[in-house]
């Protein structure tokens, strides 16, 4: 009889102990989850993290890239003369302007990735382009100038040279916000050297003009790089950045007329700019995951406000002298082919 009573009592005690133990485990788990939630919300550096956006290799977290650029410049103020089919004061004709050709250029850079998803990147862009145009006046008409370097008379020509150099220094943090979407916000500094020279000559007054516009400046730059992986090796790339540079424009005008002029008109300005890129990228690890390679083909665009600063001074012995200033924008667009190696 005692044995029959012992087993139910023992079974009941065991059940109560098991229930009590489960409750303690659940309570402990709830406390741990609450702690993780609090750390994630209030102390993000102690909570859950996004996966790093940098390629996972067995190398040294270093990378280098080389870009081949095939761009074309375009800027405001390239209208230089009217091809007038009659004589002043009447004007019937068409505006003539300079057009840049497609030109090659390059961009080189290097990056070092830290262990906490941050990276440090430097890059340099170099481009140059030339354009020129010559025009004859129509029969019974003449060329009439419409810009500081405009030509007049029966024949005239204009030649323009542009050199473009930009250095970027940036810190960025790359991470995946989902299985296939990658973000890399970045900030840093930018320096630019944009130099233009213009030569024009006219048969109407036998004057040879030289104009110079040299901008040297620096400032801050912010941007966001994104990738959308639709395959393990393929992704679409969309990047955008903006900068504001403060610098000095070294502006001058010189001619060889009988009343020779040499005018300097240096000014300092804040120059904003935007850059964008969209393209298709292929990438993969190789050499037993010690290295990573990526190839990118993209369309890239850059736009600089108030970059063309030119001045013209007319010193006419028979009329009052006068001066004019031009302030126009500068842009560039084209194809970019990028090769990046991680090692």
DSSP per-residue string spanning 276-291:
EEEEEEEEEEETTTTE
Ranges 26-40, 96-110, 122-136, 294-308: which has the least confidence: 26-40
33-53 mean pLDDT: 50
Query: Is pLDDT larger for residue 14 or for residue 207?
Result: 207
Question: What is the pTM (predicted TM-score) of this model?
Answer: 0.78
**pLDDT above 60: residue 17:** no
**pLDDT above 50: residue 16:** no
Ranges 97-111, 127-141, 179-193: which has the least confidence: 127-141
- Shared domain check, 87 and 33: no
- Shared domain check, 156 and 228: yes
Q: What is the pLDDT at residue 256?
A: 67
- Shared domain check, 154 and 37: no
- Shared domain check, 183 and 43: no
Q: What is the pLDDT at residue 64?
A: 96
Nearest by Cα to 275 from 192, 216, 197, 340: 192
Instruction: Indicate the number of domains in the chain.
Output: 2
DSSP string, 1-67: -HHHHHHHHHHHHHHHHHHHHHHHHHHHHHHHHHHHHHHHHH-GGGS--PEE-S---SS-SEEEEEE
149-161 mean pLDDT: 77
Nearest by Cα to 191 from 213, 225, 165: 165
- Shared domain check, 146 and 16: no
Show which of 32, 48, 64 is a domain's final residue: 48
Q: What is the pLDDT at residue 208?
A: 64
Query: Is pLDDT larger for residue 33 or for residue 169?
Result: 169
pLDDT confidence bin for 270, thresholds 50/70/90: very high
Query: Is pLDDT larger for residue 103 or for residue 56?
Result: 103
pLDDT confidence bin for 83, thresholds 50/70/90: confident
**pLDDT above 70: residue 5:** no
- Shared domain check, 230 and 158: yes
Burial class (CB in 10 A: 0-12, 13-18, 19+), 319: exposed
**pLDDT above 60: residue 3:** no
242-264 mean pLDDT: 81
pLDDT confidence bin for 57, thresholds 50/70/90: confident
125-149 mean pLDDT: 80
**pLDDT above 60: residue 38:** no
| Coil, strand or helix at 151 | coil
Q: What is the pLDDT at residue 262?
A: 75
- Shared domain check, 67 and 6: no
- Cβ within 8 Å of residue 135, ≥6 positions away: 81, 83, 96, 143, 151, 155, 156, 157
Of the CA atoms within 13 Å of residue 310, those in its CB half-sphere come to 26
- Shared domain check, 330 and 305: yes
Q: What is the pLDDT at residue 4?
A: 47
- Shared domain check, 107 and 247: yes
CATH of residue 276: 2.40.128
- Shared domain check, 22 and 77: no
- Which helix (H) or strand (E) is 183 found in, with range? strand 181-202
Please state, for a pLDDT cut of 70, what percent of the chain lies above it. 76
**pLDDT above 60: residue 202:** yes
234-262 mean pLDDT: 86
Which residue range(s) make up the domain with 14? 1-48
Ranges 102-106, 179-183, 198-202: which has the least confidence: 198-202
- Shared domain check, 316 and 184: yes
- Shared domain check, 130 and 8: no
């Amino acid at each position: 009889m005692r044995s029959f009573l012992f087993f139910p009592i023992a079974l009941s005690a065991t059940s109560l102990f098991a229930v009590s133990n489960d409750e303690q485990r659940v309570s402990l788990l709830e406390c741990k989850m609450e702690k993780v939630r609090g750390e994630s919300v209030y102390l993000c550096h102690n909570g859950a993290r996004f996966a790093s956006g940098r390629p996972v290799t067995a190398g040294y977290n270093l990378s280098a890239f080389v870009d081949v650029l095939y761009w074309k410049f375009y800027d405001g103020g390239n209208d230089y003369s009217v091809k007038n089919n009659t004589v002043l004061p009447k004007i019937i004709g068409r505006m003539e302007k300079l057009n840049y050709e497609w030109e090659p250029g390059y961009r080189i850079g290097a990056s070092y990735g830290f262990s906490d998803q941050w990276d440090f990147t430097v890059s340099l862009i170099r481009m140059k382009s030339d354009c020129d145009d010559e025009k004859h006046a129509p029969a019974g008409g003449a060329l009439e100038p419409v810009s500081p370097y405009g030509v007049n008379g029966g024949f005239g020509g204009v030649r323009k040279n542009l050199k473009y150099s930009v250095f970027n220094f940036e810190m960025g943090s790359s991470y995946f916000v989902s299985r296939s979407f990658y973000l890399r916000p970045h900030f840093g500094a930018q320096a630019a050297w944009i130099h233009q020279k213009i030569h024009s000559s006219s048969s109407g007054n036998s004057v040879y003009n030289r104009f110079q516009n040299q901008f040297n400046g620096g400032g801050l730059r912010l941007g966001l790089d994104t990738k959308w992986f639709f395959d393990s090796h393929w992704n679409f790339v969309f990047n955008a950045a903006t900068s504001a540079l403060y610098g000095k424009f070294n502006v001058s005008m010189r001619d060889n007329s009988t009343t020779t002029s040499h005018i300097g008109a240096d000014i300092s300005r804040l120059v904003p700019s935007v850059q964008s890129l969209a393209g298709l990228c292929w990438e993969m690890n190789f050499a037993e995951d010690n290295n990573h390679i990526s190839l990118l083909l993209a369309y890239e665009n850059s736009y600089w406000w108030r970059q063309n600063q030119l001045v013209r001074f007319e010193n006419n012995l028979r009329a009052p002298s006068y001066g004019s200033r031009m302030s126009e924008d500068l842009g560039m667009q084209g194809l970019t082919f990028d090769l990046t190696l991680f090692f």
